[in-house]
Amino acid sequence: MARRRQEIALQAEIETQEEWNEAINKDGLTVVDVYQQWAGPFVDIYQAYGGPCKAMEPKFRTIKNTLGDAILNFAIAKADTIDSLEKHRGRCEPCFLFYASGVLVDAVIGANAPELQRKIMLNLEEEKRILKEGGERREFIFQQIDQDEDEEVDPRLQRHRSSSVANAITSQQYTLAVIRPDAYADGKVDEIVETITQNGFKILVQEEHHLNEHDARELHRYKMNQEGYEEHIARMTSGPSVVLLLQKTDAKASTVDDLRELVNSDELLKTNVDYTPSTDNIHDELMLLLPHIARRPRTPEENLERTLAIIRPSALKLYKDAIIDRIRDSGFEVTRTLEIQLTRQQVEEFYASKKNEPYYEDIIQEMTSGPSLALYLTKKDAIQGFHALLGPAEKNKIKEATGTFRHDFDIVDAKINSLHAPRTRAEANRHLQFFFPEERILVILKPNLSDQQRSEIVATFKKAGFFIMTRKMEKLTSEQVAQLQQSHQGKDYYNELLNYMTSGPSELFVLVKENASQSWQQLVGPDDPAKAVESAPTSLRALYGKDLVHNAIDVSMDVEQAKNDIHLIFGDLDREEA
């Protein structure tokens, strides 16, 4: 194949192992389009898929010109003649590899221009940080969840493989099928499963599921205007169905398309099996039919809690450094500190719940006798974890509680213990707000974002200094959307927005930070992703949004509005549970 150095001036062309080694070991970020001679590089494949020729080159050039970054490089590499790319031979999907100083840090498989732009922005920002501050680059691993071709899997064990499947679900490689109740009742499940597997599909999960009317209508909402819809809903709720999570790694386009083609060409399947109509539906159907897979267990990082510790004045004079070192050695991160001389009025406000206790005046006297030190702590299960380390609050019990903070740092002559910490999450929220005032905002990750996109957005929250106070996955009602989207009511796109926001589950967060509303607006960007790309190309809406309705993320307009929004979704976060 003739070289095209002049034709693709932006992209260096790589055809030998030596050129490959040199290209990927450059300083900065190098984005490599991997191709094969029989197909040509991605520009030709894209044309074969029906898109315009050289579709990505203008996008790459725009990104390069917009960012003006000398450390961003583009290349095309021929897999046929480069040993390092052997595993990419024989694949028809476009493949883009991201290298930073010799380390593979990311990849995009498939013709997805918005995803490429987003990954370029994210990885370039991370590489700049590493070059400036130092640090280790995370190597990207192509995850495989398939068994070896010859490996037999006991169908009874399929349901126990949920955790590994949940971490690898992608819209291109997986689909869902539902064997209808009448087929289940007639004993046709084994025959149907055999037909599906004989056509190259692997069954990752097989479970019984009895649909209620609501779930059946949600699952088949795309059929609601078709003849026989009500009769079909009645059949689907008449008894248990069998849900299959399927994978076909050699699918021509996607597993969804291949299953649809198979079902429509086989009479047994056509009369007994429903299937996912589009790759856009997979996440919502997983949430509906296999929620234990869609809602994967939280990692320790996601379960991170925050709490407050107060070193009282007498202990602060003697044990300040020792206490802080002990806290850190116990696995807590001390994210902020405040040394403060409290007035009597402040102490009375903080300890208002103790006003009728016999030791109330002793607290007032100790806490106003000198400066105290407030510590903002974070760790998994921080509230209960730190409270357990403190030991008993009563002075007459501290002597026996060897090994606890209150024992080891006790002030014998003091009438109260040396340290304070909240017992509950609501109490921790109130106490932290007293010493470290923060703004709270409600953030909504809209339906149909992939798990990977959600994870990347959450990582951006944390990198910007936001703490996740609480979070949950929930399908919003029309009434909730109407209250959350008041500023959009009356706009010509509002009905489309309402339908979209109620089409599937959203992930909702309460984020906290000093001056959260100011820094959030910079992080999220303008409502319209097209404007965000121009004015804030690294903002979240520029990276993840598609249009004004499908702009990936919604956020409270201001702090006062956020109070109402948070109460609507999460209730009173500062109120103790009954």
Q: Where are the beta strands (DSSP E) in 5-119?
A: 11-14, 29-35, 72-78, 95-100, 103-109
Whether 30 and 106 have beta carbons less than 8 Å apart is answered as no
CA gyration radius, the chain: 29
Alpha carbon distance, N-terminus to C-terminus of the chain: 73
User: Given 220, 420, 431, 488, which residue is catalytic?
Assistant: 420
Strands 241-247 and 202-209: antiparallel
Per-residue exposure over 438-465, b if at least 16 CB sit within 10 Å of its own CB, e if not: bbbbbbbbbbbbebebbebbbebbeeee
Is residue 65 exposed (0-12), middle (13-18) or buried (19+ Cβ within 10 Å)?
exposed
Q: Are 414 and 366 in contact (CB under 8 A)?
A: yes
Distance, in Å, from the CA atom of 219 to the CA atom of 159, rounded to the nearest integer, reads 21
Residue 275 φ/ψ region, left for φ over 0, alpha for ψ in the -120 to 50 degree band, beta for the rest: beta
Q: Alpha helix locations (H) across 302-367? A: 313-329, 344-350, 360-367
**CA–CA distance, 244 with 217 (Å, rounded to integer):** 19
Tell whether the torsion through CA atoms of 226, 228, 229 and 232 is positive or negative: negative
| 8 A C-beta contact, residue 129 and residue 135 | yes
What is the DSSP pairing of strand 72-78 with strand 29-35? Answer: parallel
Burial of 3 (0-12, 13-18, 19+ CB in 10 A): exposed
**What is the rounded distance in angstroms from the CA atom of residue 157 to the CA atom of residue 111?**
35
- Cβ–Cβ under 8 Å, residues 442 and 562: yes
Q: How many residues does the chain have?
A: 578
Residue with tokens 């960007």: 525
3-state secondary structure of 493: coil
Annotation says 420 is catalytic:
yes
Distance, CA of 203 to CA of 11 (rounded, Å)? 41
Q: Which residues are catalytic?
A: 420
